[in-house]
Amino acid sequence: MVGSISLILFLIFAVLLQIVVHEAGHLVFGLMTGYKFVSFTILNIRIYKRDKKLTVGLSPVIGAGGQAAMEPNFSESDNIPVFWYNAGGTVFNLLLSFLAGWFVLWLNDESFIRTFFVAIAIVGLFFAVSNGIPMRTHLQTNDAYNILMMINNPSAKRAFYRIMKINAFGMEERIILDYPAILFSDLPENDYNNPLICCFAIDKIFYFLELEEYQKALDICNEMLKAKNIPGIYKNEATCEKQFCEIMLGITSTNKPYFLKKSTTKARLVPLASYHTQYSYAAFISHDKDKAEKILNSFERDCKKSCNRGIITHERYIFNLLKQRSV
């Protein structure tokens, strides 16, 4: 018989194994369909290329156990390959589950090894169902839902392409203004109920922030927040950046800003970006220099915990703009 502690350990290992296998599926099918490797993240540990060498760093993936980030090695079009890259994780989870199930039937006893394979099979099936059937939570969507949102939707496919390209550029120490400007051109349609279009919109907002075109960024935020089915993680992004743009445009009240709730500032694609909003409120609304300095120090502290060089470079650029304004 297997004790409860052993069973818990088996389940933990099975979950970690299936996370690795899931992301490996995205990686393998991505490579097979024309994508290039960018990074491979499990929990907070990221393997990525730096100066043509593989490097290990820390970078959390919000709302997921891992991520196989890749870059399209083909031109943008209405018919880019999206299915197998997105479905690859589910396929690999199923394959490992079937293999583990075969071992369970073959062993046919009550050994530790058989229980271990049972755990792998069950966890793998759970991963396959939770990622292979279109679902969305309050915060975000799964792989199958994203595939569904791209079927017969050229704007969503173009958004997906640009997200992947922008993410690849973001692995370098470059501000967003150094990326090809065409990546931020308008999509054929902007349906902010679509998670891919929302994600691209966040990148476009950050682009306008570096240009100091706050009204254009605010317009996108307002349009996103009008959407009835916008995933929560993008709603939080738009909420925070709307407050920031209003501060920079001088159209906000002196009331306590709504973005300061931790549920909003933390549950977003780019938690580091919350600092420039908090800093702007302290510097330009509260006129609290000490508070602004503490926020800046907290930002620099959190930068040391992340290998997201593109995001860090972008945020430092925004902070430099803010410090110039506050002089």
Which pLDDT value is given to residue 327?
60
pLDDT in tens, 298-315: 999 988 887 788 888 999
Q: Which amino acid is at 166?
A: I
- Compute the mean pLDDT over every residue in the chain, rounded to the nearest whole number: 88
CA angle 30, 193, 228 (to 5 degrees): 150
Mode of pairing for the β-strands spanning 53-58 and 45-50: antiparallel
The pLDDT value recorded for residue 124 is 95
Res. 142 pLDDT band, cuts 50 70 90 = very high
In this predicted structure, what is the pLDDT of residue 295? 92
- For the chain, the structural domain boundaries read 4-146, 153-326
Q: What are phi and psi of 288, to 5 degrees?
A: -110, 95
> Looking at residue 71, what DSSP letter applies?
E
Q: Residue 263 — very low, low, confident or very high, per pLDDT cuts 50/70/90? A: low
What would the mean pLDDT of 150-172 be, rounded to a whole number?
94
Confidence of residue 253 (pLDDT cuts 50, 70, 90): low
Place of tokens 């709307």: 242
228 φ, ψ (degrees, to nearest 5): -75, -30
The pLDDT confidence band at residue 267, using thresholds 50, 70 and 90, is: low
pTM for this predicted structure: 0.90
Q: In this predicted model, what pLDDT tens digit does every residue of 212-243 receive, in sequence order?
A: 999 999 999 999 999 998 988 899 899 989 99
Dist CA 186 CA 34 (whole Å): 25
For 72-105, the DSSP string reads: E-S---TT---HHHHHHHHHHHHHHHHHHHHHHH
- Report residue 61's pLDDT band, with 50, 70 and 90 as the boundaries: low
Long-range CB pairs of 13-18 (<8 Å, 24+ gap) are 13/116, 13/119, 14/116, 14/119, 14/120, 14/122, 14/123, 14/124, 15/65, 15/123, 16/42, 17/96, 17/120, 17/123, 18/93, 18/96, 18/120, 18/123, 18/124, 18/127
d(CA 107, CA 111): 8
pLDDT band at 5 (very low <50, low <70, confident <90, very high): confident
Place of tokens 């307002």: 222
Mean pLDDT in residue range 155-165? 97
CA distance 6 to 317: 50
Q: Residue 54 belongs to what H/E stretch?
A: strand 53-58
pLDDT band (50, 70, 90) for residue 75:
very high
